Amino acid sequence: MSTHQSPDFLVVIPARLGSTRLPRKPLADIGGKPMVVRVAERAKQSLAQSVVVATDSPEIEAACTAHRIDCLLTSPDHPTGTDRLAEVAQLLKLPANSLIVNVQGDEPLIPAELINQVAQTLANNAQCAISTIAVPISDTSEIENPNVVKVVLNRLGEALYFSRAPIPFVRDAHNTQTAQHLRHLGIYAYRADFLQAYTRLEPAPPEQAEALEQLRALWNGYRIAVHTASEAPPAGVDTPEDLERVRKLLGSI
């Protein structure tokens, strides 16, 4: 346990075999281990009390068991990863105030410090139900790329809005120096009682327009604390090219 009284938290890694641009992605081999196992091993380097993979696939469960990674078999019917987390919180009978960090199953290079930071941010912000991370960006192509999600914060460091559009929109070219653009990273910490409430919330209009699940929480009045990190972690795995890049980096480890 670190000296700054790190909060107790659990890491959950949702993993589905379902169709993506990279079929059977969680089981993709990286240096002799399935990707989901690599992610769990990274998460175990954090200060988490425990690390659990949550899946709807007996095949993923078997791969985790073979590598001594805790795994829970969850319903195949969850519409979102957040719903899968809520089931995990129920299965583990977690107290309402437990902190759960959601680490994506395609982030085999995620730094342990980032996991600690998102948990610490939620612990530090009792008024918030969720915490997440953002990094400053300045490249125009990144700011305008709809696959790069942007977030605007209030003065407390809480999210005002997330968008695929370039927000804040800079109206006058000479004002570019005053506008800070932040890229949202897809790592979250949640309080267990929020996860149970979330499963009962209807999808929200801005969420459906932007295809951004976190807008459901904002729409319903939940507060999201955002830690601004100095630099982005290595990218996750979405494509076969990404997989090759990560294999080169991790294959020798």
Tens digit of each residue's pLDDT (9 = 90 or more) over 109-144: 999 999 999 999 999 999 999 999 999 999 999 999
pLDDT band of residue 235 (cuts 50, 70, 90) is confident
pLDDT band of residue 177 (cuts 50, 70, 90) is low
Residue boundaries of the structural domains of the chain: 9-251
Cis peptide before 168 (omega within 30 of 0): yes
pLDDT on residue 20: 67
Q: How many CA atoms does the CB half-sphere of 215 hold within 13 Å?
A: 18
On the question of pLDDT at 251 being above 70, the answer is: no
CATH of span 9-251: 3.90.550.10
Tens digit of each residue's pLDDT (9 = 90 or more) over 152-167: 999 999 999 999 999 9
On the question of pLDDT at 195 being above 80, the answer is: yes
Cβ neighbours for 119, distance < 8 A, ≥ 6 positions apart: 6, 7, 9, 46, 47, 48, 99, 101, 131, 189
User: Would the pTM of this model clear 0.85, i.e. be above it?
Assistant: yes
pLDDT on residue 3: 42
pLDDT band of residue 180 (cuts 50, 70, 90) is confident
